[in-house]
Amino acid sequence: MLPTMSVSGELVIENKMISPEHLSRGDLVTFTSPLDPSRIVCKRLIGLPGDVICVDPTGQLAPSTEHVLVPRNHIWVSGDNAAFSRDSRMYGPVSMALIRGRLVAKIWPPTEATVFRNNFNYID
């Protein structure tokens, strides 16, 4: 999640009492990895059920003209550092059943403490 999160040494507050209807585009969500169920990952929520999403705007993993309709009860996620991220571009839509929580704030190290605000803009 670079540059939002570092590789290690951070402490965050996570809201685990969320329901899927309270998720918004731009939220940082944690979920069980669809590729490795023993891992918990954190990605930015890009698409909600019914959204049409460009599979890979960077064009690195798929043509930038390829789009997908996010299925019911699924989300589309992306890492903030797209060049090195394993996200929905690789494993497709993520089932909402895998979602564990939403990050609220980073509190350690104290000099980098921040509340994660959702300032996501999208074209309707």
Identity of residue 118: N
Q: How many structural domains does the chain have?
A: 1
Give a yes or no: residue 88 inside a domain.
yes
Tell me, yes or no, whether 59 lies in a domain.
no
- CA dist 91 and 13 (Å) reads 27
- 94 within domain boundaries: yes
Note whether residue 4 is domain-resident.
Answer: no
Give 124: exposed, middle or buried? Use CB within 10 Å, 0-12, 13-18, 19+.
exposed
Tell me, yes or no, whether 107 lies in a domain. yes
pLDDT tens digit sequence for 10-59: 787 878 888 877 899 999 999 999 999 999 999 999 999 999 999 988 88
Q: Does residue 123 or residue 43 have the better pLDDT?
A: 43
Range of the domain at 109: 11-46+72-115
Using CA atoms, how far apart are residues 76 and 65, in angstroms rounded to an integer? 17
CATH number at residue 39: 2.10.109.10
pLDDT band at 117 (very low <50, low <70, confident <90, very high): confident
With respect to residue 108, please indicate whether it lies within any of the assigned structural domains. Answer: yes
